[in-house]
Structure 1
């Protein structure tokens, strides 16, 4: 058994067993070339047969573990755990502090594996879908991160299915990039959201990777995103957020609950 970095020639062996991972299919074919170019895509093989893959996305002080796929004939043999450990070792060599991964709340087998490797539940995140729609809203893009610190109520935010540390410095960078949406009333900022123009997985999908604030402030931010999606001709809008949205909005569809798992390295 050997773990190595993926090669271009691995693609034809791997993609066939990554077609039906989920009810809707899989996304590995859409990210393969990007992951391969980043040179952190790992392959596990035995006797020249490719058994599985795992991507180790590197960001400041963290490795994000994603895309674990094992051939159906080789599952439940510990190969996924070996790939995770190999990804962690890459992070340790780079002196990164944390490893994180996201797992569906109903995927008990993967959650058990993560816990056996020392991962703990950091937070839970909900996935919602929402249609683009022409809307009138008083929410707007923040010009700076001033007076937003009280709305940082999480250690992380989602950057296209990659959860990254959310700090004051990060917030300032996001504001300069025009990615912070705020809603204010009587000169007081009541809510804040972080949006992604597109997803790494789907160019025609807009995302919201964080939202926090009052109920009265959250709705205008969602309407802002709907309007932005309408203007950008996005096919749909995806929300990844920590709390259930207690709002009545046409088309707002709660889909799944996910567990954000974390390990100190």
Structure 2
């Protein structure tokens, strides 16, 4: 669920004549995208989500002397904000601008009475992890990203039709939906089941494993994504094979799995790519 930001004018206590944080405008694209091309070894994704973020009106821009030098997107979902896409022009780094954007996002959470703020940071990004810690965030969990090729497979896993007996398979407070970690509770699980996005493997009518899938990863339309996985070793293998089948049927280029670090996968053809830290902060209203 996305909720538009409104009445932003008066929520930034640090706004000055030199520095301003505001809702992003489409014209900011000309100043922002040029420094969002080599963020990662493979490039960046901001150009692919820019129009979507602008349309949702959840994207913040930081200006210095009327020049757009930083951005941060604020995803709004039940009881939390999701902070993503923090980018600062290299010429303006080491000024605490990323922290200011995060604080601005938290002010939005306070105004909307949302109790949590979360974001994902690569495990090897020590600078960003240190910044998050100073701002009061703690590592809630660690998640691995894996890649796997689509393939025709035999599997007894199927789409869940009921949440009955699935509660014991919820081993996380969150699940990943297209690179947004959202709260996973009974209400969310019921909605996901109705949407045909929960996969279950059962033995003797008792659920042994559960997965939550996304048709795409949002960043890549040809990538199918599994955003949650839990259960027995055999059950997990069946869920993964279900995903391989789905990917084959949908003609996906590859399957991307986001899996908690505590779950050790050993599946032929699985490519373990990168470890991420999910960080969380409780928003205080005093």
Tell me whether 1:113 sits opposite 2:131 in the alignment.
Answer: yes
Q: Is the 8 A contact 2:73 2:86 kept in 1?
A: yes
Tell me whether 1:245 sits opposite 2:271 in the alignment.
Answer: no
Q: 1:158 aligns with which of 176, 180, 192?
A: 176
Equivalent-residue separation in structure 1 for 2:148 and 2:107 (angstroms): 39
Equivalent-residue separation in structure 2 for 1:60 and 1:246 (angstroms): 31
Tell me whether 1:208 sits opposite 2:255 in the alignment.
Answer: no
Q: 1:179 aligns with which of 180, 193, 197?
A: 197
What is the deviation of 1:202?
1.1
Equivalent-residue separation in structure 1 for 2:189 and 2:143 (angstroms): 20
Structure 1: 5+ residue runs without aligned partners? Answer: none
Equivalent-residue separation in structure 2 for 1:158 and 1:41 (angstroms): 20
With structure 1 as the length reference, what TM-score do the two structures score? 0.98
Q: 1:2 aligns with which of 15, 20, 24?
A: 20
Equivalent-residue separation in structure 2 for 1:100 and 1:116 (angstroms): 15
Q: Which residue of 1 aligns with 2:87?
A: 69
Q: Is the 8 A contact 2:31 2:69 kept in 1?
A: no
Equivalent-residue separation in structure 2 for 1:200 and 1:89 (angstroms): 27
What is the deviation of 1:253?
0.4
Residues 102-126 of structure 1, C-alpha deviations (whole Å, 9 max, x = no match): 0000000000000110001111111
What is the deviation of 1:24?
0.3
Residues 150-171 of structure 1, C-alpha deviations (whole Å, 9 max, x = no match): 0011100001110011001111
What is the deviation of 1:245?
3.2
C-alpha RMSD over aligned residues: 0.8
Equivalent-residue separation in structure 2 for 1:216 and 1:207 (angstroms): 20
Q: 1:134 aligns with which of 145, 148, 152?
A: 152
Equivalent-residue separation in structure 1 for 2:113 and 2:267 (angstroms): 46
Q: Secondary structure at the match of 1:103?
A: strand
Equivalent-residue separation in structure 2 for 1:76 and 1:101 (angstroms): 20
Residues 68-97 of structure 1, C-alpha deviations (whole Å, 9 max, x = no match): 000011111100000000011111111111
User: 1:1-265 counterparts in 2 under 5 A?
Assistant: 1-243=19-261, 244-250=263-269, 252-265=270-283
Equivalent-residue separation in structure 2 for 1:263 and 1:246 (angstroms): 29
The aligned length equals 264
Equivalent-residue separation in structure 1 for 2:192 and 2:164 (angstroms): 12
What is the deviation of 1:100?
0.3
Which one is further off, 239-248 or 109-118?
239-248
Residues 120-151 of structure 1, C-alpha deviations (whole Å, 9 max, x = no match): 11111111011111111111111111110100
Q: Is the 8 A contact 2:222 2:253 kept in 1?
A: yes
Q: Secondary structure at the match of 1:136?
A: coil
Equivalent-residue separation in structure 2 for 1:60 and 1:22 (angstroms): 30
Q: Is the 8 A contact 2:143 2:276 kept in 1?
A: yes
